[in-house]
Structure 1
Amino acid sequence: MPELTAASLMEHHQAASVLAGLLEGNGRFIAGEPRYKRDITAARQHAPGQKPGAVVFTCIDSRVTAESVFDCDFGQLLVVRTAGHVPDRAAVGSLEFAAAEMGVGLVVVLGHERCGAVAAALNAVQDDTHDPRTDYLVEQLWQPASQALSESTDAEAAASQAMRLQVRRTVADLGRRSSLDGVLVVGAVYDLDTGAVSLVDEP
């Protein structure tokens, strides 16, 4: 993951500007003062085309709705979802498509507290068991879950740590891909209780 320093953000000036706009939108969301209604009138207005400025790669959790969290209108944001934001081939292909075909220069990997996929991985590591219904996800999340459990004795802290480790791992994975050269990839965490999004820096 690139360090979120002034120097690194200057190298991605346009993407950094888009990121600032997303965080401003999150501020409006928290304040209960959204700019966009996203009603049928807006949908019809944007139906002819789209010019998204960013992709949010997040979890499938129904409480994490990126368009609302960042107060974006139709056509402004692409959203890719997998449980635990595991970067499988379809997800990565979607991000590559966004960069190559739509010119999107910013990817936000958005984790969240109380993630069910992370909890399943933590339980599997603790019990050393596998469930055919979640084997793939557990396999993909085993490393951050195992590391978090080794670093924390408190269950809630371990879950939070595992989620952040997965955010950083996902950012690092995407950042190594030549297909995403020139794209700013940043990690962030959504607080389900406050609605706030905070950036995740390098450990």
Structure 2
Amino acid sequence: AAQGFAGSGGYGDEMLDDERAWAAAELFATTGDAAYRAALPTGATGEPGWASVAPLGMITLATASGVPATIRDGARAAIVAAADGFLVETARTGYRIPYASQTYNWGSNSSILNRAMLLGLAQRFTGEARYRAGVVDAADYILGRNPLGQSYVSGTGWKPLTNPHHRFWAHQLSASAPPPPPGVVSGGPNSSAMVDPVAMTLKAGARRNAAGRTTSTPMR
């Protein structure tokens, strides 16, 4: 169920199957106990996220020493298949990233970077350079080749991030608060949860501007 507490928002997650699958993968890789085999993650996979952690178990099965070859190879095949899907998406985006969704959720950069992680694993498993190229495309996007024309990482890349939305690195709000240290990654663009006061103001302004353009007299 969704949970919220002071200083953060809710991170709802009503499914436990993926947590169980991840836990089973870690326990199986650690102990080799056959009792965990029935609960291992299987089948198709995608990038991991806070509400979808089964892919982390798949990564463990694909990379940990001592995992039986049949299970290991199945996990690797699932990761390579996911990477192939990401590369198909790369060809459908103007900024050549392995992410062709029309919706950029809160923390969209995590989806892109987690996809890059699976692409890197696919290159490791197959030796094929096209997967490495997908990782580079994702890194280029994060470091400045994106619609905003700026790096989403503090201290590096083109026009680096300086004022992230953060409870502690809030120097823009108060001189007594610290700026972000180098290497902080922004959550990235978000088109689905514009709920903070600054975003709501910008969203309202964008709507007014759009309405003005729609009702203005055409130039002759």
Whether the TM-score (by the shorter chain) exceeds 0.5 is: no
After TM superposition, the score normalised by the length of structure 2 is 0.27
Larger Rg: 2
More strand by share: 1
After TM superposition, the score normalised by the length of structure 1 is 0.29
Identify which of structures 1 and 2 has the higher relative contact order when contacts are C-alpha pairs closer than 8 Å and 6+ apart. 1
